[in-house]
Amino acid sequence: MRNTALAIAALVTALGTTLTAHAQGTTIGTAPSTDVVVTQPVEVDADGGITDEQRPAFREYIVTERVPSYTVPQRIVVGAVLADEGVTFYDVPQRFGATPYRYTVVNGETVLIEPRTRRIMQVID
């Protein structure tokens, strides 16, 4: 009986370690002689957007990618819905954290979009 309980405890510990290694984060490396993956948490805005600390790097990424700016007649504010046609959405790179949103540039401003509803979720200033 005691051996069974010990075996179950060892199994649960092994599974928990494996799942922890796959948690969201940026891999820093492997701990020496242990094969344990060391991660650093990725900062994500509470709403799944880009954090204030990530904004300069994200803006630089957008400039580097040369994403075209679309012109629309409406004001670009959080909550506005973009038209069904004419705007292309791009995936946010994983290095900026996991987010359900996509990005695009509209009227010269980078915005995060909820792709299903086309609603602007964040304006990156």
Average predicted confidence (pLDDT) for the chain: 73
Q: How far is it, in rounded angstroms, from Cα 41 to Cα 104?
A: 26
Is 18 a residue whose pLDDT tops 50?
no
- What domains appear along the chain, each with residue ranges and CATH number? 2-40 (no CATH), 55-124 (3.10.450.160)
Q: How far is it, in rounded angstroms, from Cα 43 to Cα 97?
A: 7
**Tell me, what's the pLDDT at 65?**
92
- Tell me the three state secondary structure of residue 92: coil
Q: Which amino acid is it at 88? A: T
Alpha helix stretches (DSSP H) within the chain: 2-21, 55-65
Q: 23: pLDDT confidence band, cut at 50, 70 and 90?
A: very low
Mention every residue, 6+ apart, whose C-beta is less than 8 A from residue 63: none
Give the pLDDT confidence of 62-90 residue by residue, as tens digits.
Answer: 999 998 999 988 888 999 999 888 889 99
Comparison of pLDDT for 45 and 8, the residue scoring more: 8
Q: Which amino acid is it at 16? A: G
Whole-structure pTM value: 0.60
